[in-house]
Chains A and B, each alone.
Chain A
Amino acid sequence: MQRIGRGDIARVFPEVIRHTETPLVRTAPAPLYLLSRIVREHGIKVVLTGEGSDEVFLGYDLFKEAIIRLLCWRRPASRLPPRLLDGLYPGIAPASGKGDFWRGYFMTAGSPDDPLFSHLPRFQLTARIKDFYAAEFRAGLGPFDPLAELRARLPAGFGAWSPLARAAYLEITTLLSSYLLSSQGDRMAMAHGVEARVPYLDHRLVEFAAALPARSKLRGLREKNILRRWGEATGLLPAAVARRRKQPYRAPDVPAFFDGRPPEYVEALLDPVSLRRTGIFNPEAVAGLVRRCRAGRAEGFRENQALVAILSTELWHREFLGAPAPALVRARVAGSARVEPAPVETPAAA
Chain B
Amino acid sequence: MRDETREFTPAVIADRTRAYVRENFLYMRPDWPLKDEDPLFGGGVIDSIGVIELVGFLQREFGCTLEEDEITERNLGSVAAIARFLHAKCNGGVRAA
Q: Would you give the 0/1 interface string for A100-118, flagging 1 where the beta carbon is closer than 8 Å to chain B?
A: 1110110010000000000
B51 A96 Cβ-Cβ under 8 A? yes
Is the C-beta of A179 less than 8 angstroms from some C-beta in chain B? no
> Do residues A284 and B72 form an inter-chain contact, with CB atoms below 8 A?
no
Name A291's closest neighbour in chain B (CB-CB): B27
Asked if B73 is an interface residue, CB under 8 A from chain A, the answer is yes
Across-interface contacts of A288 in B (CB, < 8 A): 27-28
**Closest CB of chain B to A105's CB: distance in Å?**
5
Q: Which residues from chain B contact A96 at a C-beta distance below 8 Å? A: 48-49, 51-52, 71
A285 touches B69 (CB 8 A): no
Known contacts A97-B71, A104-B73, A297 near B44 by CB under 8 Å = no
- How far is it, in angstroms, between the C-alpha of A304 and the C-alpha of B73 when the chains are bound? 25
Q: What number of residue pairs across chains A and B have CB atoms under 8 A from each other?
A: 73
Let me know if B7 is at the binding interface, CB within 8 A. no
CB distance from B55 to the nearest CB of A (A): 7
Among A124-132, A146-154, A312-320, the stretch that binds chain B is: A124-132
What are 6 residue pairs bridging A and B, where the CB atoms are less than 8 Å apart in the complex?
A97-B55, A101-B72, A108-B42, A135-B31, A288-B27, A291-B27
Indicate the member of B31, B48, B52, B55 with the most A CB atoms within 10 Å. Answer: B48
**Assembly CA distance A135 to B30 (angstroms):** 11
Could you tell me the distance in whole angstroms from the C-beta of A108 to the nearest C-beta in chain B?
Answer: 5
Q: Are A97 and B51 in contact (CB under 8 A)?
A: yes
A92/B28 in contact, CB under 8 A:
no
B95 lies within 8 A of chain A by Cβ: no
With a cutoff of 8 Å between Cβ atoms, the chain A residues found around residue B28 in the complex are: 131-132, 282, 285, 288-289, 306
Counting from the closest, the 6 A-B pairs by CB-CB distance are A288-B27, A300-B49, A97-B71, A285-B28, A99-B71, A99-B72
What residue of chain A has the Cβ atom nearest to residue B29's Cβ?
A131
* Chain B positions 54-85 with a Cβ under 8 Å from a chain A Cβ: 55, 68-73, 76
Measured between C-beta atoms, what is the minimum distance from A126 to chain B in Å?
12
Knowing A97-B55, A98-B68, A100-B72, the reply to whether A105 touches B30 (Cβ < 8 A) is no
* 18 further contact pairs, Cβ within 8 A, besides A96-B49, A97-B71, A99-B73: A92-B48, A96-B52, A98-B71, A99-B51, A99-B71, A101-B73, A104-B73, A105-B48, A108-B42, A131-B29, A135-B31, A285-B27, A288-B28, A297-B24, A300-B47, A300-B48, A301-B49, A306-B28
